[in-house]
Structure 1
Amino acid sequence: MPAAGPQPGHAGLRVSDQDRERVVEHVQTAYAEGRFDKAEFDDRLERAMTARVHGDLVPIMNELYGRHPARSVPYPPVAGRVAYGHRVSTGGRGETGAERLGAVASHLLPLVGLPVVGPAVVMLTAGRTSPYVRAHSVEALNFQLTMLAATIVLAITFIGFVLIPLLWIGGVVLSVVGAVAAAGDGDFRYPFTLRLVK
């Protein structure tokens, strides 16, 4: 399979989420086939998920397939394969049931008593192999950290202490909205959130 990439001179062009996800799919497939050990897999996955320009992704594809002349198609799609017990995504965000479930869980776990730990665990597990799950779990984690900080600040004053229940009711509603968005393969951004985790 060719290591297709951008046309010559296009290495500085910004990549899209779809470009990153396609390279992640190739890395996942190579790992499932035993072509990488865990450390090599983690390294390439991190590089693919944090790539900003095509020049960041091309070396990863070259490591997988060798150097070939650039083609007009940015990155070839991966046929459906099994990795980690579920089908690797073949395009689209969060198209597998496992990805949607992980993304939904990151929003709902805080409602069952795991406000910060729940999204963090999802981010550090399923989020390592799915950009879709990672995006939702990072957003949920940042929201829960913001809620925790706001609760501490409000508890200092009497008026703020009275507002805490309203704050948490709003948090529950937003978490449910986030879960619905995640189940429908959609993006979701919590309002008034400090995004400390990237």
Structure 2
Amino acid sequence: MAGVSKTPGPGEMPPAHLRVTHQDREHVVEHVKAAYADGRLDKFEFDDRLERAMTARTHGDLMPIMYDLRMSPAVSFPPAQSSAPTPTAEASESNERLAAALAHFLPILGFPIVGPLLVLLIGGKSSPYIRKHAVEALNFNLTVVGGSFLLAISFVGIVLVPFILIVSLILGIVASVSALSDNEYRYPMTVRLVK
């Protein structure tokens, strides 16, 4: 039958005149994507081969696309791959956001330097997102604690210290909400000693 493509056995090439199925096209597309990811195709070649693969009608149309890509690693994607994140990815992402928010919230609970430092040491190695927020929280709280000690020496500073502490509490809450919302947050007037 002209409209049906038989699946070739190992090492067999289907006849060039046989029409391709959606699965045949998808298989070639995955090989082209893998070759592009490996750096074996530039953007122009990638776009050209993708277009030719998606519009191919026969195996003869697909063969030139794959000719120099035969050595590409086997692609094991399912035919209809969903772009929705898996439940494990969602859980790990929400855990990262929670840990990042904790780095900003622990100082409010009375752990201004120890809290962000613990979050940085525990979660910062495995997650760039946690590290970024923990470093920002640590730098801000080092600035607040250092500034409060320096200001406490003078009479004017003693008046300003409670105001600074209230502002730091508000900024900590705002930063926690930003971390939970998967947003970047930068504290104002912060000396960034930790990178």
Structure 1 unmatched runs, 5+: 9-67, 70-78
> TM-score, normalised on structure 1?
0.55
1:197 maps to 2:161 = no
Which has the larger Rg? 2
The equivalent of 2:134 in structure 1 is: 137
> TM-score, normalised on structure 2?
0.56
Residue identity over aligned pairs, in percent, reads 44
Q: Quick one: higher RCO (CA 8 Å, sep 6+), 1 or 2? A: 1
What is the distance in 2 between the residues matched to 1:139 and 1:87?
A: 27
Q: 1:166 to 1:131 in 2, by over 3 A?
A: same
1:98 maps to 2:95 = yes
Aligned length, in residue pairs: 124
Q: 1:126 to 1:162 in 2, by over 3 A?
A: same
Name the SS for the 1:105 alignment partner. Answer: helix
Write out aligned runs for 1:43-54 (5 A).
Answer: none
Contact 1:103 1:132 in 2 (8 A): yes
The equivalent of 1:147 in structure 2 is: 144
The letter for the 2-side match of 1:190 is Y
Moved over 4 A (4+): 5-8
Q: 1:156 to 1:102 in 2, by over 3 A?
A: same
The equivalent of 1:181 in structure 2 is: 178
Structure 2 unmatched runs, 5+: 1-30, 42-71, 74-83
1:164 maps to 2:193 = no
Q: Deviation of residue 5 (structure 1)? A: 5.7
Q: 1:165 to 1:5 in 2, by over 3 A?
A: farther
Q: 1:186 to 1:95 in 2, by over 3 A?
A: farther
Q: Deviation of residue 131 (structure 1)? A: 0.7
Write out aligned runs for 1:21-40 (5 A).
Answer: none
Contact 1:95 1:185 in 2 (8 A): no
The equivalent of 2:51 in structure 1 is: none
Name the SS for the 2:107 alignment partner. Answer: helix
